[in-house]
Amino acid sequence: MRIFPLFFILLLFFHKTPAQNKMNTFVANLMSKMTVDEKIGQLNLVTPGGAVTGSVVSTDVDNKIRNGQVGGLFGITGPDKIRQAQDIAVKNSRLKIPLIFGLDVIHGHRTIFPIPLGLSCSWDTAMIRKSAEIAASEATADGLNWVFSPMVDIARDPRWGRIAEGSGEDPFLGSQIAKVMVQGYQGKDFSGNKNALACVKHFALYGAAEGGRDYNTTDMSRISMHEYFLPPYKAAIDAGVGSVMSSFNEVDGVPATANKYLLTDVLRKQWGFKGLVVSDYTSVSEMIAHGIGDLQRVSAEALKAGLDMDMVSEGFLNTLKKSLREGKVTRAQIDSACKKVLEAKYKLGLFDDPYKYCSTERFNNEIFTEENRKAAREFATHSFVLLKNQNNVLPLKTSGTVAVIGPLADSKFNMLGTWSVSGDHSKSVTVLEGMKNAGAANILFAKGANLTDDTALAKRVNAFNKQVDIDSRSPDEMLKEALDIASKSDVVVAVVGEGADMTGEASSMSNISLQPSQQRLLQELVKTGKPVVMVLFNGRPMTIPWEDKNVNAILSVWFPGTEGGNAIADVLFGKYNPSGKLTTSFPINTGQIPAHYNRKNTGRPFDGNVNAAKFKSNYLDVSNDPLYPFGYGLSYTKFNYGDIKLSKTSLKGNETLTATVTLTNSGSFDGEEVMQLYITDPVATVTRSLKDLKGFKKVALKAGESREVSFKITPDLLKFFNSNLKYDWESGEFFIHIGTNSRDLKSAKINWVK
């Protein structure tokens, strides 16, 4: 016992920086004093209540902390409460090891920003980094030091409710966002008290659940895994994320929480991850239902695969010692997991000051500030995507009468969106309030319809609060009121879409259209002949072909957060010209799913010519193309792309290619355009996507202004995973595409040899 730590310290001494050496010495020293029980205790993450997503809530938490049986707590906030819990650990437990305090801080903490899918549509990585920075600052002012974010699961199936929590379907963009979120949460280091340990999740492939049904099996080739789904997790690791959460789903027949390939071979060995791996909520004990064995067995399998901390199952706490006695796990495996937990606490500075994040002053002054609300408003305006704007019906005139109609027009419970556990709904600004605050036009309001008339669905959506408020009036009465005010108005703003918890965890939907109650409302509003602007609240792409054809304008606002209503008014009245672009394709119908842009050709590609469609890869009843493609989004102004100018067309080895396009704002509004670069590799030893996003730039141009914009392309951007899972590029022809979305692009051909 005495010799091992000394040897360990000496060995590490020669490989590490002084700071790492200091940490290793400290942790090794502490571990030399710990009993096996105390080590196992560190692996136990419990929640005394609050927002929980499963049935098990930890019991007798105080005593467990006292007995050294708890490593961390999640689900409580506030410096006072957290101080109380920390007191028990550092005053009453034998070794006085501080606890780590976590929570789901997903898109803001108390000040809620747009849902992550919305934030991703800004394509503004500096802004997204800032959003994470503010979230970490509020969370740490609230006593927390560990945020269960970023969620970087690539999702191609909008039926999956948790598509709302990620950055869409593309691994390149997803990786950029993963990186800046980690940087925003963690900062440079934890020397101050405003940064929190980030936790990238859900490792891995959680977003590829079959049929979009939450927690479901995923099954895919290793090439697809590495090419399309794993890059954002890796980007978070490369950015120095301190922790990783394993996912609920199985991969290759083994649940991710006990999947050695994922947790050890890929994460630790290939990617060199040195931080802490925590399970998802009861994902250890859920492996019993998966069919992996009893609690003792699943816990041992998880530890052996590389899991360090067990969230809520208490499988580690209650069975690992027995498994050690029976030779089913080793002391080294327990030590390694314990070391990771202690290192996380060390890095956060908790051994120096266990109350570092418990500042009442910060709690009183740094949460939900004017400044943070201002940021929330700005972030929201940048997240909206203008999907249609016939005859420039938007922006609205700042005079006349606007009828604001719809079940989501004045609904505080539906502004924040999924996973806003610390947000205060009562403080969110609704669309009606925002429109009135703008003071720009005469505003009339009617609810018009229920979010849904389906009481069974309403009951399920209302699990946490009354998002679906079924009116005491009949649908006909509500409709009549709406049509009355529409007739008195110059324009109708129809605020429709999903309730906040129609997306998010355990909120998969087989039908992703508007509810019939709202479809009827829209149909009747369109019949009035008044221009109809549809403001769509959505946590996922929805199937809206009728709406696309029949309403005059559509603005997707996702779930816009605390300042949503003000931000929507800013965009509708033209104070901000929308610049968001979709990060996930909108299918025409659910049968088309998956409709992601980076699909492959097949041996019988369909070129869109229906007269030659027989025996080609297509549907008889619907086109292959989505309603709105990845990267799509309109502006109040018009951007024109010139042809691509290349620095050369034949390249060799590690040269750099410069591709330049002149972008012109030919409309009458100042605006921002997200310029997108895609590459096609038409011939390779494995089949490649039709195109892959490989770059983007958000460019602001004044009305009438032009600018030359260049993209640098290096062979790194040509790399892919081949049959041996080697990441490399192959000589040949490539197509470079630059344009406004994944469908409408300028193209140029090059030749590049090794």
Q: Which residues are catalytic?
A: 280
Answer yes or no whether residue 281 interacts with ligand BGC by CB under 6 A: yes
Nearer to ligand BGC, 48 or 631 (CB): 48
Nearer to ligand BGC, 250 or 505 (CB): 505
In 3D, which of 691, 726, 530 has the Cα closest to residue 601?
691
In 3D, which of 472, 449, 443, 358 has the Cα closest to residue 79?
358
Nearer to ligand BGC, 168 or 349 (CB): 168
Give the nearest distance from C-beta 499 to ligand BGC in angstroms.
Answer: 19
What single-letter amino acid sits at 522? L
- Using CB under 6 A as the binding rule, the residues of this chain from 18 to 57 that contact ligand BGC are 53
Whether residue 202 is preceded by a cis peptide bond, meaning omega within 30 degrees of 0, is: yes
Answer yes or no whether residue 201 interacts with ligand BGC by CB under 6 A: yes
Nearer to ligand BGC, 56 or 295 (CB): 56
What single-letter amino acid sits at 532? V
Nearer to ligand BGC, 505 or 570 (CB): 505
Binding mask 72-101 for ligand BGC (x = CB under 6 A): ------------------------------
Give the nearest distance from C-beta 419 to ligand BGC in angstroms.
Answer: 8
Beta carbons of 444 and 403 less than 8 angstroms apart: yes
Answer yes or no whether residue 410 interacts with ligand BGC by CB under 6 A: no
Sequential DSSP letters for 589-634? SGGG----SS-B--SS---S-GGG-TTSSS-SSS-SS-SB-TT--B
Nearer to ligand BGC, 245 or 334 (CB): 245
Give the nearest distance from C-beta 225 to ligand BGC in angstroms.
Answer: 20
Answer yes or no whether residue 214 interacts with ligand BGC by CB under 6 A: no
Sheet holding 650-652: strands in order across? 650-652, 745-753, 732-739, 671-680, 692-701
Which residues, 6+ apart, have CB-to-CB distance to 339 below 8 Å? 27, 31
β-partners of residue 586 are 628
Give the nearest distance from C-beta 108 to ligand BGC in angstroms.
Answer: 15
Which residues, 6+ apart, have CB-to-CB distance to 704 below 8 Å? 665, 666
Whether residue 587 is preceded by a cis peptide bond, meaning omega within 30 degrees of 0, is: no
Residue with tokens 């505003």: 443
- Binds ligand BGC (CB under 6 A): choice among 38, 280, 286, 314: 280
Q: How far is CA 634 from the centre of its chain?
A: 23
| Residues touching ligand BGC, count (CB under 6 A) | 7
Pairwise CA distance, residues 643 & 737, whole Å: 10
What single-letter amino acid sits at 743? R
3-class DSSP state of 262: helix
Give the nearest distance from C-beta 735 to ligand BGC in angstroms.
Answer: 39
Nearest residue to ligand BGC, by Cβ distance, number only: 53
Give the nearest distance from C-beta 44 to ligand BGC in angstroms.
Answer: 15
Q: What is the DSSP letter of 162?
A: G
Answer yes or no whether residue 203 interacts with ligand BGC by CB under 6 A: no
β-partners of residue 74 are 102
Beta carbons of 532 and 525 less than 8 angstroms apart: yes
Pairwise CA distance, residues 93 & 146, whole Å: 22
Nearer to ligand BGC, 104 or 308 (CB): 104
Nearer to ligand BGC, 148 or 720 (CB): 148
Pairwise CA distance, residues 567 & 380, whole Å: 6
Answer yes or no whether residue 505 interacts with ligand BGC by CB under 6 A: yes
Pairwise CA distance, residues 230 & 153, whole Å: 8
Alpha helices in 327-474 (DSSP H): 331-348, 360-365, 370-383, 431-438, 455-461
Answer yes or no whether residue 215 interacts with ligand BGC by CB under 6 A: no
In 3D, which of 545, 520, 509 has the Cα closest to residue 450?
520
3-class DSSP state of 388: strand
3-class DSSP state of 23: helix
Nearer to ligand BGC, 184 or 504 (CB): 504
Give the nearest distance from C-beta 278 to ligand BGC in angstroms.
Answer: 9
Which residues, 6+ apart, have CB-to-CB distance to 66 below 8 Å? 88, 92, 93
Label the pairing between strands 645-646 and 650-652: unpaired
Nearer to ligand BGC, 148 or 641 (CB): 148
Residue with tokens 């080609």: 616
Give the nearest distance from C-beta 206 to ligand BGC in angstroms.
Answer: 8
- Binds ligand BGC (CB under 6 A): choice among 104, 142, 227, 308: 104
Give the nearest distance from C-beta 377 to ligand BGC in angstroms.
Answer: 27
Binding mask 146-175 for ligand BGC (x = CB under 6 A): --x---------------------------
Beta carbons of 440 and 398 less than 8 angstroms apart: yes
Pairwise CA distance, residues 96 & 519, whole Å: 60
Nearer to ligand BGC, 59 or 640 (CB): 59
Give the nearest distance from C-beta 207 to ligand BGC in angstroms.
Answer: 12
Give the nearest distance from C-beta 53 to ligand BGC in angstroms.
Answer: 3
Burial readout 338-361 (b: 16 or more C-beta within 10 A, e: otherwise)? bbbbbbbbbbbbbbeebbbbbbee
List interacting residues with ligand BGC (CB under 6 A).
53, 104, 148, 201, 280-281, 505
